[in-house]
């Protein structure tokens, strides 16, 4: 698996039970759930990334299986884009609770590949659940813009609903390695937005462009979700970026929703590192 590096000196971290320690003696505590926190002092302190409430909502919703079509597509793409014979080093940049990471690692193993997998996320709350879901993954709190792994150390990089840090992805992928990038398509959750907002807007679904990464495949995945419980609708809304920008009138419309047919629409793109 891609070895985690010390964020202070860049040395390889030896993973102990209680901490990851580099040869210069920099030490990073391991949480009970398994992740190491690699944010250095000036980065830590304030809440980073998704908070507890958002993580709880997303976990509940994902565990309901509603986004399984995207998970299946990611698994197939990962198997398709990795060579049969070699060990596969997998890194999930923005792994959240590892719902996709764990499934992709399992799919690669089922396909007979030897997999080492790691996940990075800026949210401790997300990684706490990630460690429970996937105890065999190496997990670290860090930014996707400063991934704690060596240059050219990854064969497959996942980037699912997480910021696109193009230059950093070029750095960590081996030549010929593949980035699988999943993002909301233009009409993702349209009916939900229509029900809540006066003037819903479409998502920008333009493909990210990065020198050194060539787009080799683009797949659109969509499904209509028949939500018949208010709590599923509320969880779905809570896990979106718009949840924090909602006024009282919008919130009242959301509270009144007990059933909803809503389109989930994703774009999954594969980029090959030149």
| Binding stretches for Zn ion (CB under 5 A) | 6, 8-9, 11, 22, 24, 26
Min dist CB 45 to Zn ion, Å, is 20
Secondary structure class of 156 (helix, strand, coil): strand
Contacts of 216 (CB under 8 A, 6+ apart): 178, 270, 271, 272
Which C-beta is closer to Zn ion: that of 120 or that of 233? Answer: 120
Contacts of 30 (CB under 8 A, 6+ apart): 15, 16, 17, 18, 19, 20, 36
Min dist CB 2 to Zn ion, Å, is 17
CB 232 within 8 A of CB 150: no
Contacts of 256 (CB under 8 A, 6+ apart): none
Min dist CB 43 to Zn ion, Å, is 16
Which C-beta is closer to Zn ion: that of 26 or that of 109? Answer: 26
H or E stretch at 71: helix 68-80
Which C-beta is closer to Zn ion: that of 22 or that of 236? Answer: 22
- Residue in the shown chain whose Cβ atom is closest to Zn ion: 6
Which C-beta is closer to Zn ion: that of 6 or that of 120? Answer: 6
Min dist CB 183 to Zn ion, Å, is 34
Min dist CB 19 to Zn ion, Å, is 12
Which C-beta is closer to Zn ion: that of 27 or that of 76? Answer: 27
Min dist CB 211 to Zn ion, Å, is 31
Pairing mode, strands 19-21 and 27-29: antiparallel
Cα separations (Å) of 259 from 3, 48, 88, 188, 265?
Answer: 46, 33, 42, 17, 19
Of 188, 148, 143, the closest CA to residue 171 belongs to 148
Which C-beta is closer to Zn ion: that of 24 or that of 110? Answer: 24
């Amino acid at each position: 698996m891609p070895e985690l590096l010390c964020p202070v000196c860049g040395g390889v971290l030896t993973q102990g039970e209680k901490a990851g320690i580099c040869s210069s003696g920099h030490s990073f505590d391991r949480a009970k759930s398994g992740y190491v926190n690699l944010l250095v002092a000036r980065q830590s302190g304030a809440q980073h990334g998704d908070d507890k409430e958002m993580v709880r909502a997303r976990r509940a919703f994902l565990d309901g299986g509603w986004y399984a079509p995207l998970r299946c597509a990611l698994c197939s793409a990962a198997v398709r884009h990795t060579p049969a014979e070699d060990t596969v080093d997998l890194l999930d940049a923005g792994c959240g609770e590892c719902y996709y990471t764990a499934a992709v690692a399992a799919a690669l193993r089922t396909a007979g590949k030897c997999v080492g997998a790691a996940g990075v996320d800026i949210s401790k709350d997300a990684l706490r659940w990630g460690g429970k879901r996937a105890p065999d993954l190496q997990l670290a709190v860090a930014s996707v813009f400063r991934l704690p792994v060596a240059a050219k150390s990854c064969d497959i990089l996942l980037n699912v609903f997480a910021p696109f840090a193009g230059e950093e992805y070029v750095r960590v992928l081996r030549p010929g390695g593949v980035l699988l990038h999943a993002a909301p398509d233009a009409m993702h959750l349209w009916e939900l937005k229509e029900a809540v907002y006066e003037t819903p807007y479409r998502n920008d679904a333009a493909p990210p462009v990065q020198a050194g990464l060539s787009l080799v495949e683009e797949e659109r995945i969509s499904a209509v979700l028949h939500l018949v419980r208010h709590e599923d609708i509320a969880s779905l809304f809570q896990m979106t970026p718009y949840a924090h920008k909602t006024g009282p009138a919008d919130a009242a419309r959301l509270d009144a929703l007990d059933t909803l047919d809503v389109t989930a629409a994703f774009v999954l793109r594969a980029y090959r590192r030149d």
